Amino acid sequence: MALPKGLDPASAYRTMVRMRLVEEALTQAWADGLVPGEYHSGIGEEGINAGILAHLSGRDSMALDHRNTSPLVGRGTDITKIMLEVLGSEEGLNLGKAGHMHLMDPELPAASDGIVGASGPLAVGAAVANQRLNPGRVAVAFHGEAAMNQGMLMESYNLAVAWGLPVIFVCKDNKWSITTYSAEVTGGDLTDRAKAFGLRVRRASGDRVEDVYAAAGDLIRRARSGAGPGFLHVSCHRPAGHFEGDPIVRLLKNPRGQAAEWGPSIADSVRAQGGGSRSERAAALTDLTKRGARAARDYTVRSRMDPIRRGRRLLDPASADRIEAMEATEVETAITVARGAVDQRATFGATGGGAR
């Protein structure tokens, strides 16, 4: 496809590379035991984030979900500050109070919320404020397809249409609700659902930044002009699973090890006295097997649909090399600072009050 008008492929590629490198630095830090708790990476969502961010300017609002690092990186938040926050330093973006799931940057402005679906009402509120105080500014809510089963998000769609708000809901559809296959717990078609609320609907492939850019541009221009809210459905994949350490990804990467961990108690339980009939137990085993097979399929497909690899083809290789080298240096510098700030911590929380 021809590049959509207005898209600078080098700039979009730079944004995607920067996001990917920051995510990789943080997932490595997680594996090294330097990131406490959970970490939900945005690897696989770069095409979506870059395609949308290219249309945002000034003080357009962003309401983010648990995969919030990449949109902040792409929008220009200081990556050292982000990394310090995620590694648990009080020198971080939010003084160590937030952690990765709740990164906040009032300067942008962008707010993250770990409660699934909450980005919807937050963006609606920002849009009401923008409508009154800053006409021309839009608000963007980033959420997953699983969030579309959450009441507050559906209520937000209605509110946005009823009040004619300058808000865009971006549904990043990776097909998984935590570790449940979304189609198993979702009725109907999601774009039909959005249409039924009266939202202007567009679709795009998340592995093609130019596709996202074109679809988002249409919705954002429309919302900016006061013509009402939009819904963008974008397909994507999450190669690292719901979060680092996702048990299904563990199963895919190390089937024998995970089977050894889960197998004995599953075998005991399937034979245990009292409980379901033979066919009910068989149905349960099929259920678990199906989940593993679907995850394996998605995991494989993902490797062929990397937005970074596809985005690289939009510019000449020498320019891509230069961008990669420059971003790698900056990210390396930032993660070195962040790791240095917490490296005297043997393992988090293991020692008393004052120690890191």
Partner 1 sequence: MTIMKYGQAVDFAVGEAMAEDDRVVTWGEDVKLIHRDLLVRFGPERVRDTPISESAFLYAGIGAAMAGLRPVVEIMLIDFLPVAWSGIVNAASKFRDFSGGRWEIPLVVRAGCGGWYTDGGQHEQVLWGQLAAYPNINVVCPSTPADAAGLMLTAVETDEVVVFLEHQLLSEQWIDYLAGGSRSTVDFDHLIPADGAQGEVPLPLERVPLGRAAVRREGSDVALISLGVGAHRCIEAAQVLGGSGIDASVLDLRSVSPLDRDAVVDQVRKTRRVVVVDEDYVRGGLSGEIAAVLLEADVAAAYARVAVEGTIPFAPHLEYAALPNVERIVAAAAGLE
Question: Helix or strand or coil: residue 321?
Answer: helix
- Of the pair 255, 275, the CB lying nearest partner 1 is at 275
Contact flag: residue 117 with partner 1 (CB under 8 A): yes
Q: Which stretch binds partner 1 (CB under 8 A): 95-103, 159-167, 214-222, 328-336?
A: 95-103
Query: Binding marks (x or -) toward partner 1, 254..293, rule CB under 8 A?
Result: --------x--xx-xxx-xxxxxx--xx-xxx-xx--x--
Quote the least distance from Cβ 20 to partner 1, whole Å: 21
Q: How far apart are the first and last CA of the chain?
A: 52
Applying CB under 8 A, which of residues 58, 106, 151, 188 lies at the interface with partner 1? 151
Spatial contact of 39 and 26, defined as CB atoms under 8 Å apart: yes
State which of positions 31-50 bind partner 1 (CB under 8 A).
31-33, 36-39
State which of positions 180-219 bind partner 1 (CB under 8 A).
180, 182, 184-186
β strands within 206-252, DSSP E: 230-235
Contact flag: residue 348 with partner 1 (CB under 8 A): yes
Alpha-carbon gap, residue 112 to 61, rounded angstroms: 11
- Annotate 37-86 with DSSP letters as a single string: S-----TT-HHHHHHHHTT--TT-EEEE-S--HHHHHHHT--HHHHHHHH
Q: Which stretch binds partner 1 (CB under 8 A): 115-123, 200-208, 222-230, 330-338?
A: 115-123
Applying CB under 8 A, which of residues 146, 214, 220, 331 lies at the interface with partner 1? 146
- Of the pair 277, 318, the CB lying nearest partner 1 is at 277
- Of the pair 80, 177, the CB lying nearest partner 1 is at 177
What are the Cα distances from residue 186, in Å, to 174, 233, 288?
14, 15, 18
Alpha-carbon gap, residue 319 to 302, rounded angstroms: 25
- Of the pair 37, 136, the CB lying nearest partner 1 is at 37
Quote the least distance from Cβ 342 to partner 1, whole Å: 9
- The secondary element (H helix, E strand) that includes residue 139 is strand 139-144
- Of the pair 6, 247, the CB lying nearest partner 1 is at 247
Applying CB under 8 A, which of residues 58, 106, 317, 352 lies at the interface with partner 1? 352
Please name the residue that has the structure tokens 């190390």.
Answer: 254
- Buried/exposed 106-137: b ≥16 CB within 10 Å, e otherwise: eebebbbbbebbbbbbbbbbbbbebbeeeeeb
Contact flag: residue 97 with partner 1 (CB under 8 A): yes
What are the Cα distances from residue 232, in Å, to 93, 140, 178?
29, 10, 21
